[in-house]
Amino acid sequence: MNAPAAAIDWAAVRADFPLLSREVHGKPLVYLDSANTGQKPEAVIAAVDDFYRHHNANVSRAVHALGTEATEAYEGARGKLARFLNVRADELVLCSGTTFALNLVAYSWALPRLRPGDAIVLTRMEHHANIVPWQLVAQRTGAIIKVAEIDELGRLDLAQLYSLLTPEVKLLALTHVSNVLGTVNPVREICREARKRGIVSVVDGSQAAPHRALDIAAIGCDFYAITGHKMSGPTGTGALWARREHLAEMPPFLGGGEMIKEVRFEGTVFNDAPHKFEAGTPNIAGFIGLGAAVDYLSALGMHHVEAREQALLDHATRALSQVPGLRIFGQAPDKAAVISFLVEGAHAHDLATLLDLEGVAIRSGHHCAHPLMHHFGVPATCRASLAYYNTFDEVDAFVAALNKVRKLLA
């Protein structure tokens, strides 16, 4: 239903995104790859532009006016993001994105702690960014990895997942929302079960933060990772939220400037968290842009964003269900606006290439989720992912183009 979001002028929202009015191959662009990266509103582009034009300086190291302005704007962005996620700003480590955030947990929390015989639990639907760091940790510590499986709708099998949470499990890492299936996992309940058993939980929120009102404090996890470029913000921005007690105990991941209080050749006193984990010059302009993105999303209201995307998803799912030979991967009742599919007799890359010639941008491939592809026995799928700035007409144009190109491939 579109009703809760009806108060918003979505055509005006769309007009805020300059890129969406361009053409591709002589056709109006239909951008359906927002799970890969989101498009940016004028407000975000302007914030980055304004920083470089009027305020550019490094953060925290200069007492001059520009240095103060840059530092205030950068720390202001941290505060905005913290409020958006309902966490404390001093528990929010700013970094380049989810990949960095998960590696930070792997290297600073897991590597020093795990021992031979310990176990890490992952799920079948994880992105490689939430698999490979744990494999690297397992290789170096002698820990093993166990996998929670999914059912035919693409939901986690919770009974099987809980049966894996045995005493040797030290860490559970799972995605909040699957980038392939769209499944929204009940992370609050799962993290509560982990916590009851003394297991530390890490949630990959890459695909949740752009689409859902988040309350990380209420989830009850130990770590939560996000990436800014999928939230209408600039690339190279993201964050790790961690419980304060973990941040206090974790050794720094990277050493350098900014993360220290005092350096002598005999030894270094590290800065307090979160700065202890932010060595070197950060992506200042990027985070100022992310702050603007958070303002933009907050002004829309994440509940409106979610309702709008749900309506687009329902419309697209209905239309795609009419396409002969089309199979959708992931039909969980609680699902974000991501549709992975294959059409009988057509290779995913051929479909995506021909759709591109029609102006429709979808992704084809393994979506950095090889184990999920193996589960389905396919090398690749097509994936159309929707965002609040898409329109119902675009969904119709996509389905019409799909019907046209599938006939060419038949």
Measure the CA–CA gap between 62 and 349, rounded to whole angstroms: 51
The single residue of 95, 221, 368, 382 carrying the catalytic annotation is 368
Footprint (CB under 6 A) of ligand PMP, residues 228-257: 229
Asked if 179 is part of the footprint of ligand PMP (rule: CB under 6 A), the reply reads yes
Do residues 346 and 323 touch, judged by C-beta distance below 8 A?
no
| Contact residues for 317 (Cβ-Cβ < 8 A; gap 6+) | 328, 339
Nearer to ligand PMP among residue 71 and residue 99 (C-beta): 99
Asked if 34 is part of the footprint of ligand PMP (rule: CB under 6 A), the reply reads no
CA distances from 306 to 63, 141, 220, 239, 383 (A): 43, 41, 22, 22, 19
Nearer to ligand PMP among residue 182 and residue 359 (C-beta): 182
Beta strands in 40-160 (DSSP E): 92-95, 119-123, 144-148
**For residue 123, with 0-12 CB atoms within 10 Å meaning exposed, 13-18 middle and 19 or more buried, which class applies?**
buried
Asked if 226 is part of the footprint of ligand PMP (rule: CB under 6 A), the reply reads no
Do residues 237 and 287 touch, judged by C-beta distance below 8 A?
yes
Q: Which of 94, 104, 120, 129 binds ligand PMP (CB under 6 A)?
A: 129
Asked if 206 is part of the footprint of ligand PMP (rule: CB under 6 A), the reply reads yes
Q: Which of 123, 141, 175, 271 binds ligand PMP (CB under 6 A)?
A: 175
Asked if 381 is part of the footprint of ligand PMP (rule: CB under 6 A), the reply reads no
Measure the CA–CA gap between 388 and 394, rounded to whole angstroms: 12
Question: Is position 368 annotated as part of the catalytic site?
Answer: yes
* Exposed e or buried b per residue across 63-98, where buried means at least 16 C-beta atoms within 10 angstroms of its C-beta: eeeebebbbebbbebbebbbebbebebebbbbbbbb
Nearer to ligand PMP among residue 204 and residue 394 (C-beta): 204
Half-sphere exposure of residue 298: CA atoms within 13 angstroms, side-chain side: 13
| Contact residues for 249 (Cβ-Cβ < 8 A; gap 6+) | none
Asked if 124 is part of the footprint of ligand PMP (rule: CB under 6 A), the reply reads no
Nearer to ligand PMP among residue 108 and residue 206 (C-beta): 206
The pattern of x and - marking residues 78 through 97 that bind ligand PMP according to CB under 6 A reads -------------------x
Q: Which of 34, 98, 123, 381 binds ligand PMP (CB under 6 A)?
A: 98
Asked if 385 is part of the footprint of ligand PMP (rule: CB under 6 A), the reply reads no
Do residues 206 and 367 touch, judged by C-beta distance below 8 A?
no
Instruction: Show the tokens assigned to 140.
Output: 């170096």
Asked if 364 is part of the footprint of ligand PMP (rule: CB under 6 A), the reply reads no
Q: Which stretch binds ligand PMP (CB under 6 A): 64-72, 107-115, 125-133, 308-316?
A: 125-133
Q: Which of 201, 227, 340, 364 binds ligand PMP (CB under 6 A)?
A: 227
Nearer to ligand PMP among residue 271 and residue 390 (C-beta): 390
Asked if 39 is part of the footprint of ligand PMP (rule: CB under 6 A), the reply reads no
- For the CB of residue 198, give the shortest distance to ligand PMP in the complex, in Å: 26
Measure the CA–CA gap between 286 and 290, rounded to whole angstroms: 6
Q: Residue 274: is the preceding peptide bond cis (ω within 30°)?
A: yes
Nearer to ligand PMP among residue 129 and residue 397 (C-beta): 129
Query: Which residues here bind ligand PMP, judged by CB under 6 A?
Result: 97-99, 127, 129-130, 175, 179, 204, 206-207, 227, 229, 368
Kindly list the catalytic residues. Answer: 368
